[in-house]
Amino acid sequence: MSEPKIAATRPAVLELEPGTYFWCECGRSEKQPFCDGSHAGTEFTPLKVELDEKKRVALCQCKHTANPPYCDGAHAQLD
């Protein structure tokens, strides 16, 4: 599998309303941390995230988390 592009080395900390979101898995989106379709032609697909209530989240932008879409601190291990 190809390596994703590192969009940022810090998470996007956001207060999200209930709803459906699509987290960018490839790192190419201009609307980080969300998908804008830039993965077209790659093996990546966005990850569907559904929230039932308003929630403060830290979404991974380095794309190396073991718990997608949430930051697990993997960015601290990147070169």
The tokens of 69 are what? 């879409």
> What local confidence, expressed as pLDDT, does residue 79 receive?
67
Task: Round to whole Å and give the CA distance between 77 and 18.
Answer: 32
pLDDT tens, position by position, 9-61: 999 999 999 999 999 999 999 999 999 999 999 999 999 999 999 999 999 99
62 neighbors 6 (Cβ within 8 angstroms): yes
Give the pairing type, strands 12-16 and 19-23: unpaired
Span 49-76, average pLDDT: 97
Q: In sequence order, what are the beta bridge partners of 59?
A: 12, 70
Confidence of residue 68 (pLDDT cuts 50, 70, 90): very high
23 neighbors 47 (Cβ within 8 angstroms): yes
> What local confidence, expressed as pLDDT, does residue 35 receive?
98
Task: Round to whole Å and give the CA distance between 36 and 34.
Answer: 7
Confidence of residue 1 (pLDDT cuts 50, 70, 90): low
